[in-house]
Structure 1
Amino acid sequence: MDIEDTPTATSELLCQAIVNSDEFNFNKQLALQVFTLWMCSPLLELQLKSTHKPFQIRQNWKYLVEHYGHASYNRQQRDEPIILFKRNVFFLQHLEEKIKDQKILELLYEEAKHNILEGRYPCEVSHYIMLGGIQARIELGPYNSQVHSIHYFREEQSKYLPAHVRKSATWTWLPISSKNSAEVRLLEQYKRVPNSATNRKLIRKYLEFCWSLPFYGAAFFEGQIEQPVRGLISLMTHQDIPVLVAINSKNVYIIDDVQCTVLLGLRYEEFSWDHAKPSKEDDPNCLPCLFLQFVVVENGARVSKILQVFSRQAGLMDSLISNFVQQLKRKSSGDEPDRAFDQMNTENETHASINSTPFTHNSTNLPNLPSLNNKLSRLTLATFDEDGHLIGQMGSWSFSY
């Protein structure tokens, strides 16, 4: 695209240029609500405000990566961002599910597919196989026995399945595959798609499954949590667990980034939070923290648990959570209409304290998700009774009275 005065061009202007380009034939007004500009690299992903100037953001990228990125200095210096036109994290999902514009749905499908293949949307292996079969049918057309063999899918499975699913498959250099291997199951799923199925229907089916996932549409942030110490050997060898923090308009999820497993999922009504700067700001190994506090029933009594997430991106998480909570409060009071918000990383006048929840707890139970249960045993947590007294601590937790 030819953009006049590129250094001062805003994100809003670039989005207008994108939707007005000849390559897209979609509802322009709707597309500007659904999508916005992001600047992304392997180390950092930022949704830009409408007033941001992408050229200037790019000029300051090294500083941003140094401030927010989890990587060595050399890797930070090599980091190269790209501009992406993708889903606005503030666009409401129930409005998205009503969209009929096929071009918009195709873009949403591509983004959902990316998150599935990157393992950012944890689900059952059978679901990954099902989605891989749909993707194969969209991209390859109807099944052709002369081309689409087990060998083909063994060689090409990285296109259709996330890495942690492929690892369980038969070694690719072996000439045979077990009947339960990923490539065999993927081929069978692909063959099951009816020849009469159109790409329009298949894209819709793919998205409908992704819409059912509670972390759909989330922004992702890198962090780490302490691994529970179990025994002397564990104490000597334990390391922090790298996690993704997924934040959307309804929930916050902590995802094991290695095993692609949900460790904790909480609705905004179920937790309070706080953000803490590093205690030693001149120490690069001392990271900011995001604290999540939630209530569970343990041995018949209500107790409060606190999880500490270490991350250079804790401030970004705090700001996004604050935006969503304020949005929910305005909606519940009838002051906020149903619309998408173009605001990220803004400062808020009020900040939820870790000692007070943004909402009254409606339940003492954690959210129940099919096959995606919270795994509290894998978390290092501090425990408080209803009077606020510390009754259990793990890891680096220490409190003085």
Structure 2
Amino acid sequence: MEGDNCSFPPDLSDDHSQRGSVASSATLSRAQDVLVYLFGESAVHLSVEGLGSVSVQELGRSVREALQIPESAPDAFAFWLCSPLLELQLKVRHQPYKLCRQWQDLLYRFTDASEDDISQGSSAHTRGLSAWTEWVELSAASVLHSELRDFYEPYLQYRRNVFYPKSKELQIKDEAVLRLLYEEARSNILSGRYPCDPEHWAGLGALSLALEEGPGLDSQQITTKIREKKLPSFVPAHVAMGSGGFFSTLRGKSSRQAELEQKLSEEYGKISKSTGSSLEPQQLLHQYLSMCHTLPYYGCAFFCGEIDKPAQGILQRGKRKAVSVGICLDGVYVMDVKEKHVLLGLRFSELSWDHSRPEEEGDSHILWLEFDGEEDGTPVNKLLKIYSKQAELMSGFIEFCVELMSTSEGGAANEPGVPQEPTGQEAGTRNGRGGRRGMLQRQGSVVCSRVHSLNTISYVDNGKEIKRLKPKRAASFFARQATAPTYSAVNTESLEQG
């Protein structure tokens, strides 16, 4: 799969930038030291000639050679330009140095950072560019320490390709490649970017312990190792810290720590009993990734946004909740940043979407997600508004994924022995909704959607037009096509007033 064909991130001019160059062409033509970050607090040091014009494709060959990544898995990883405000996967033809020069422009366009804050970060931005053109003599530990990265300064990272299918991961045999995938997945689990239930994080934490210390420890050794490395090395930070509420304080930190240690010890014991001490690291890595694959948002690209909070009286109107929006080849997932759980998860066959730009000063970029739901037993259409300056990126990414999946499904449908999904009236009969898409169910797991907690706009189809339920106001804002395509866009011209 070629990154050139992807509309995410948007194309930027490689020849023009509003930022001046910080290095002469003579300087850039000489061999320069470059630092490429990896997950797991490590990095690859490269010496690159012609840094100002080197492409991702050329840089990729050097990194794969340094990491000894086999030619059988060249598409598993990609280069990303990252900062706490923005993460972008680069295409193979992009030139990282030139995109680094444009980083402030990207922050203006796709983040809510103020112009003053971005401008004040210009000196740090210049330092970031200088890091591409001269090697600063610092110890490896201090270079890799995340606190040294400026909030507005991008760094180059080599990590999982968002378009790499999960099915191909488990076919990988090379331990070095599996280790890179493991470190990234582990980082996302521990940071809470991948919400998971206790049975998941306990099992994953036990596998991490087995990978680091081997599967043959007794119960006393397990407790000792956990205390040496600290709980946040094995369970998500918000789990290790607890809710911080009144009852949590009464119970005491030591009691909670003992409970988590016991849970990890039990899960570790299951691994030892089922495999003994003969389990190879490659098998443990496969087990870890397989468990992560049960999380539907594994491998997503993540975007920042906000949604409206449900109204709870006159004084509670107009407030918003910070969300993280994950998009991958499987669908779209909206997650509560604070509570670390999924608010809405939709496969592409379950949604329609659109992106609207602000028409007046003070308006927001909005990503609209439309899906099927229920109000008092009546099937309705629901619309969720996600406010984000990255809505354009999200919309383009969804469109590309849908087209990519449609192409893949079309090829698979022509293969002998591959069952085809029912369409049209046949599909409607099977799900009992007259052609409507599958309705989301309310469930307790952090992985499942919490549609009841969303502030959505609800509509109902009366056979002639689509009407909004509350308030009772007829509005033909969008219409479904009789042929039921794989996806459709939502017409949002009049909805922003609702």
Q: TM-score scaled to structure 1, two decimals?
A: 0.83
Q: Write the distance in 2 (CA, Å) between the matches of 1:242 and 1:234.
A: 16
Q: Write the distance in 1 (CA, Å) between the matches of 2:176 and 2:115.
A: 41
Pair 1:129–1:382, CA change in 2 (3 A): same
| 1:20 partner SS | helix
Matched residue, 1:293: 370
Q: Write the distance in 2 (CA, Å) between the matches of 1:375 and 1:138.
A: 35
1:308 aligns with 2:385: yes
Counterpart of 1:166, as a letter, is A
Q: Deviations over 1:332-377 (max 9, x none)?
A: 4339999xxxxxxxxxxxxxxxxxxxxx966342278883332122
1:206 aligns with 2:288: yes
Q: Write the distance in 2 (CA, Å) between the matches of 1:68 and 1:224.
A: 14
| 1:334 partner SS | helix
Matched residue, 2:451: 376
Moved over 6 A (4+): 335-338, 367-370
Counterpart of 1:120, as a letter, is R
State the 1:146 CA deviation.
Answer: 6.7
Matched residue, 1:127: 200
Counterpart of 1:36, as a letter, is A
Contact 2:240/2:257 (<8 A) preserved: no
Structure (1 or 2) with the larger CA radius of gyration: 2
Pair 1:271–1:84, CA change in 2 (3 A): same
Contact 2:327/2:333 (<8 A) preserved: yes
Q: Deviations over 1:154-174 (max 9, x none)?
A: 871122221221132877xx7
Structure 1 gap segments, 5+ residues each: 339-359
Q: Write the distance in 2 (CA, Å) between the matches of 1:201 and 1:114.
A: 20
State the 1:385 CA deviation.
Answer: 1.1
Matched residue, 2:186: 113
1:13 aligns with 2:58: yes
Matched residue, 1:37: 79
Greater Cα shift, 372-381 or 137-146: 137-146
Pair 1:296–1:135, CA change in 2 (3 A): same
Contact 2:372/2:436 (<8 A) preserved: no
Counterpart of 2:217, as a letter, is Y
Contact 2:371/2:381 (<8 A) preserved: yes
State the 1:46 CA deviation.
Answer: 0.2
Alignment of 1:23-62 (within 5 A): 23-24=67-68, 26-28=69-71, 30-62=72-104
Q: Deviations over 1:17-52 (max 9, x none)?
A: 11122x42x322x33211111111111100001111
State the 1:175 CA deviation.
Answer: 8.1
Relative to its length, the structure with more helix (as a share) is 2
Q: Deviations over 1:272-328 (max 9, x none)?
A: 100011222x54xx3211000111243343211000000111111011101011112
Matched residue, 1:328: 405
User: Which one of 433, 439, 448 corresponds to residue 365 of structure 1?
Assistant: 439
1:318 aligns with 2:395: yes
Counterpart of 2:242, as a letter, is S
Identical aligned residues as a percent: 32
Higher relative contact order (CA closer than 8 Å, sequence separation 6+): 1
Contact 2:112/2:389 (<8 A) preserved: yes
Contact 1:150/1:184 (<8 A) preserved: no
State the 1:149 CA deviation.
Answer: 3.0
Contact 2:170/2:286 (<8 A) preserved: no
Q: Write the distance in 2 (CA, Å) between the matches of 1:373 and 1:178.
A: 26
1:249 aligns with 2:294: no
Q: Write the distance in 1 (CA, Å) between the matches of 2:101 and 2:437.
A: 47
Matched residue, 1:269: 349
Alignment of 1:25-174 (within 5 A): 26-28=69-71, 30-73=72-115, 76=118, 77=121, 78-141=151-214, 142-143=216-217, 148-149=222-223, 152-153=226-227, 156-168=230-242
Matched residue, 1:196: 278
Structure 2 gap segments, 5+ residues each: 1-45, 122-150, 416-433, 473-493
Counterpart of 2:351, as a letter, is F
The number of residues matched between the two structures is: 369
| 2:47 partner SS | coil
State the 1:398 CA deviation.
Answer: 5.7
Q: TM-score scaled to structure 2, two decimals?
A: 0.67
Counterpart of 1:10, as a letter, is S
**What RMSD in Å do the two structures reach over aligned CA positions?**
3.1
Contact 1:179/1:185 (<8 A) preserved: no
Counterpart of 2:233, as a letter, is K
Contact 1:330/1:336 (<8 A) preserved: no
